[in-house]
Amino acid sequence: MKNKKLADLNFKSLLDYGGQPEVKHKYDTPLQCAGFCHKCEDQGLVDQTEFKLGQMSHGCDSSDFEEFLGPLPGPPSTTGKFIEDPIMFVLESPGSSYHNAAETTCDKYTKMPPRYHYYWTPYAKEWPTDYNELPDRWGSYFAYLMREFGLRNVYITNLIKCGKTPVNKDEKNSFQPYGTFRNKDDSDRKILDQCYKEFFSTELKEFSPKLIIVFGDAAHRGLRSLGVTADYTVQCLYHPSSRLSLEKKYAKNNQLMLEALKKAL
């Protein structure tokens, strides 16, 4: 990761790996996590009879992708140049990617930090050129966007770093989205505010994005409720897991991305 303060935030404060691990899609020996943030639990923001904060994530940037995939090819035909301005990609929270996690206990709390591969790394082995042939909807799609628009300074993160998981054992592997974030007394909004205070506000300050690309209405609502949309240029795109057709989802995202880059930079 280019920014040392962001690397320390992610790999010492949020998740304690003792520093940034090597960027790999798969680790032969799983990463050892000595600890993780549990401020929300300490402050009683988690109703542990209903849900827990389980699956965890960390940030990633374009230099991590280049370490994994090689130098970004280009410049692309869409923009005709590489874009060095800081562009932030934001999603709401970790989903149900349990193949990357294993339960770890710290200070009486059990969560699932990334241990089997570096979070966000794509399944692609080279920079994707066609959204119709992406091997996964996350890292490979973000790699596609970087190549398609020549984005050389991207930081990717979740607005909330812990996924919300139902306590009911029959549902423990199902993803539970956060709420609308409109009511400040709701636990979801309190968790959002706490995560903003501890991590996301620092990510904004340190990365200082010229443009924030937010994926999905849920994350967009979260940014609006925090007032981020008033202080930064924000463009909402369709979420990678949207059930819309590839043509409607990704082709429309390309159009929106290009328009946003032209306006913001």
Output the pLDDT for position 23: 96
pLDDT of residue 140: 96
Q: Give per-residue pLDDT as tens, 178-202.
A: 988 988 889 999 999 999 999 999 9
Q: How confident is the model at residue 169 (pLDDT cuts 50, 70, 90)?
A: low
Q: What is the pLDDT of residue 51?
A: 86
Report in angstroms the alpha-carbon separations of 87 from 62, 84, 152, 209. 10, 9, 9, 5
HEC string of the chain equals CCCHHHHHHHHHHHECCCCCCCCCCCCCCCCCCCCECCHHHHCCCCCCCCEEEEEECCCEEHHHHHHHHCCCCCCCCCCCCCECCCEEEEECCCCCCHHHECCEEECCEEEECECCCCCCCCCCCCCCCCHHHCCCCCHHHHHHHHHHHCECCEEEEECCCEEEEECCHHHCCCCCCCCCCCCCCCHHHHHHHHHHHHHHHHHHHHHCCCEEEEECHHHHHHHHHHCHHHHCCEEEECCCCCCCCHHHHHHHHHHHHHHHHHHHC
Confidence at residue 153, expressed as pLDDT on a 0 to 100 scale: 98
Mean predicted confidence (pLDDT) in 12-33: 96
Query: pLDDT value at position 170?
Result: 57
| Residues 42-99 pLDDT 10s | 999 997 778 889 999 999 999 999 999 999 999 999 999 999 999 999 999 998 666 8
Mean pLDDT of the chain: 93
pLDDT classification of 32: cutoffs 50, 70, 90: very high
pLDDT at 159: 98
Task: Give the per-residue pLDDT at 75.
Answer: 96
pTM of the shown model: 0.96
pLDDT score recorded for residue 37: 98
With contact defined as beta carbons under 8 Å apart, do 142 and 154 qualify? Answer: yes
Q: In angstroms, how far is the first alpha carbon of the chain from the final one?
A: 23
Write the CATH number of the domain with boundaries 4-264. 3.40.470
